[in-house]
């Protein structure tokens, strides 16, 4: 233990001597949360709409006003023909075209169905789906208000009354920041833990100082533990720092146990740093290991559920995701912070992640070549 303590002390001395690293430890979390939380969002607040009103009645103008009053829409064009509006969409200046045909208001006043056409730019499928959902919500609200105002009971609703009430659990306000902030914290902790520990070992190879350690009586597991523990502590500190920023500036809910979150984070860091140490044992330069990080981190992040749910992936991808540590942490941190999940709720994730940690650390110790 004394040997590991001195190795850890050496790593901290080198870390504190690095004038670039220490500012990054504090600036990076603030930058990521203040910038990425607003940039990496699936919310839409500037849907560009073109209106083709062929009815020109009070009913059609009320529908258009309903879209204008919505904070999500920006009506930029009132076209007299569909050709002009479609040309604007082809130039990517319009996201959705709404066409209100003749006799729209007359049909509504007669309690007959009124037709409305929506043309949506679907190059981005996710964006098109959101535009459709937002538009149908506005039209549904308009219809309900029209029925209430006119006292008209449409035929399809005359057989009975259905009272539908929605309630959103765990994120009642549908605040996208509450969903994204835990994911950004996962990326931050991963970078600080995985990359820095592995780069530290590769840097020893490039400088040639690792040869002095190889001929010393320090054992392999002691040397690797000395590389792992300092950045393990730094990554846990970054997590605490990031949670503090999220709580102060974004009022992110913390419904679960922080002790449970940090316990799971500790296991996750062992797994992810084991992967980093294993990469460092099969590479000789920082350029090589950065290439490995770029390849695997892109795959891990995109398959982790950061933006899209894992359940929407193909079955083969979900099976492959069993080996993705980020997917476990991405799921668990949101469960603990937003849902208040307890130990029994995340027990399966802890077991699977622990197995990954044991395997990767074992591979790192086995692969590291040392001569005594």
For residue 243, is it left (φ>0), alpha (ψ between -120 and 50) or beta? Answer: alpha
- Torsion 167-171-177-180 (CA) sign: negative
Same domain, 236 and 362: yes
pLDDT for 325 equals 94
Q: Which of 157, 190, 205 is the last residue of a domain?
A: 157
Asked if the model's pLDDT at residue 161 lies above 70, the reply is no
Distance from C-alpha of 348 to C-alpha of 273, rounded to nearest angstrom: 21
DSSP 1-59: -HHHHHHHHHHHHHHHH-TTHHHHHHHHHHHIIIIIHHHS----S-EEEEEEESS-SHH
- Torsion 7-8-13-17 (CA) sign: positive
* Paired residues of 77 in beta bridges: 50
Q: Is residue 269 part of a domain?
A: yes
pLDDT for 152 equals 54
Q: Is residue 349 part of a domain?
A: yes
Read off the CATH number of the domain in which 117 is found.
3.40.1710.10
pLDDT-derived band at 339 (thresholds 50, 70, 90) equals very high
Same domain, 116 and 237: no
pLDDT digits (tens, 9 = 90+) for 188-240: 899 888 887 788 888 878 877 777 776 777 787 787 888 888 889 989 998 99
pLDDT digits (tens, 9 = 90+) for 63-108: 999 999 888 899 987 876 788 888 888 888 899 999 998 888 888 8
Same domain, 195 and 318: yes
Same domain, 112 and 182: no
Average pLDDT over residues 327-345: 94
Q: Is residue 299 part of a domain?
A: yes
Same domain, 196 and 296: yes
Same domain, 240 and 351: yes
Average pLDDT over residues 160-167: 57
Same domain, 105 and 53: yes
* H runs (alpha helix) in the chain: 2-17, 21-31, 37-39, 58-69, 82-90, 104-109, 125-150, 176-190, 196-207, 210-214, 220-250, 258-281, 286-302, 315-320, 325-334, 347-367
pLDDT for 329 equals 96
pLDDT for 153 equals 53
Distance from C-alpha of 237 to C-alpha of 336, rounded to nearest angstrom: 18
Average pLDDT over residues 260-276: 94
Distance from C-alpha of 51 to C-alpha of 88, rounded to nearest angstrom: 12
Asked if the model's pLDDT at residue 158 lies above 50, the reply is no
Q: Minimal CA–CA distance to 260: which of 324, 193, 344, 178?
A: 344
Structural domain count of the chain: 2
Same domain, 147 and 181: no
pLDDT digits (tens, 9 = 90+) for 280-316: 888 888 888 888 888 888 889 889 988 778 888 889 9
Asked if the model's pLDDT at residue 261 lies above 80, the reply is yes
Question: What percent of the chain has a predicted confidence (pLDDT) above 70?
Answer: 92
Q: Which of 105, 128, 157 is the last residue of a domain?
A: 157
DSSP 113: P
Q: Minimal CA–CA distance to 39: which of 135, 160, 181, 250?
A: 181
Q: Is residue 170 part of a domain?
A: no
Q: Is residue 318 part of a domain?
A: yes
Q: Is residue 228 part of a domain?
A: yes
Same domain, 181 and 113: no
pLDDT digits (tens, 9 = 90+) for 133-151: 899 989 888 888 877 776 5
- Where is pLDDT greater, at 83 or 255? 255
Antiparallel, parallel or unpaired: β 117-120 and 47-53: unpaired
What domain range is 125 assigned to?
A: 47-157
Instruction: Give kind and range of the element (H or E) at residue 96.
Output: strand 96-100
Q: Minimal CA–CA distance to 171: which of 241, 240, 251?
A: 251
Decide: 205 and 370 in contact? Cβ < 8 Å. no
pLDDT for 372 equals 43
Instruction: Tell me the whole-structure pTM to 2 decimals.
Output: 0.79
Same domain, 288 and 312: yes
Distance from C-alpha of 223 to C-alpha of 228, rounded to nearest angstrom: 9
For 229, what's the count of Cα atoms within 13 Å in the CB-facing half-sphere? 17
Helical packing angle, 21-31 and 2-17, nearest 10° = 80
Same domain, 264 and 284: yes
Q: Is residue 162 part of a domain?
A: no
Q: Is residue 372 part of a domain?
A: no
pLDDT for 160 equals 47
- For residue 212, what are the CA distances in angstroms to 7, 82, 207, 208, 339? 13, 76, 11, 8, 50
Helical packing angle, 220-250 and 176-190, nearest 10° = 160
Same domain, 188 and 269: yes
Q: Which of 157, 188, 214 is the last residue of a domain?
A: 157
């Amino acid at each position: 233990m004394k040997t590991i303590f001195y190795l850890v002390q050496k790593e901290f001395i080198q870390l504190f001597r690095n004038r670039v690293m220490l500012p990054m430890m504090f600036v990076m979390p603030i930058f990521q949360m203040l910038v990425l939380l607003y940039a990496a969002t699936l919310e839409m607040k500037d849907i560009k709409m073109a209106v083709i009103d062929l009815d020109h009645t009070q009913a059609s103008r009320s529908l258009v006003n309903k879209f204008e009053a919505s904070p999500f829409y920006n009506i930029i064009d009132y076209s007299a023909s569909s050709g002009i509006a479609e040309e604007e969409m082809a130039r990517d200046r319009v996201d959705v075209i709404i066409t209100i045909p003749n006799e729209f208001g007359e049909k509504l006043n007669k309690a007959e169905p009124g037709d409305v056409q929506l043309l949506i730019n679907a190059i981005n499928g996710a964006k098109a789906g959101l535009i459709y959902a937002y538009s149908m919500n506005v039209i549904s609200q308009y219809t309900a208000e029209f029925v209430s105002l006119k006292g008209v009971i449409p035929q399809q609703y005359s057989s009975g009354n259905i009272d539908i009430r929605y309630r959103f659990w765990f994120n009642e306000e549908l605040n996208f920041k509450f969903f994204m902030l835990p994911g950004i914290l996962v990326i931050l902790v991963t970078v600080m833990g995985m990359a820095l520990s592995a780069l530290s070992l590769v840097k020893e190879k490039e400088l040639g100082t690792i040869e002095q350690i190889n001929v010393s009586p320090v054992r392999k597991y002691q040397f690797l533990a000395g590389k792992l523990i300092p950045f393990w502590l730094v990554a846990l500190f970054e997590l605490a720092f990031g949670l503090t920023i999220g709580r102060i500036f974004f009022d992110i809910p913390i419904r679960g146990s922080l002790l449970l979150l940090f316990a799971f984070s500790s296991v996750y860091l062992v797994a992810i740093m084991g992967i980093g140490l294993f990469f460092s044992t099969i590479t000789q330069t920082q350029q090589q290991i950065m290439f490995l990080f770029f390849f695997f981190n892109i795959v891990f992040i995109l398959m982790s559920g950061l933006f899209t749910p894992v359940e929407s992936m193909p079955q083969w991808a979900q099976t492959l995701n069993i080996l993705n540590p980020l997917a476990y942490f991405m799921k668990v941190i949101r469960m603990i912070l937003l849902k208040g999940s307890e130990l029994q709720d995340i027990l399966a994730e802890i077991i699977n992640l622990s197995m990954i940690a044991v395997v990767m650390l074992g591979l790192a110790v086995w692969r590291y070549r040392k001569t005594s």
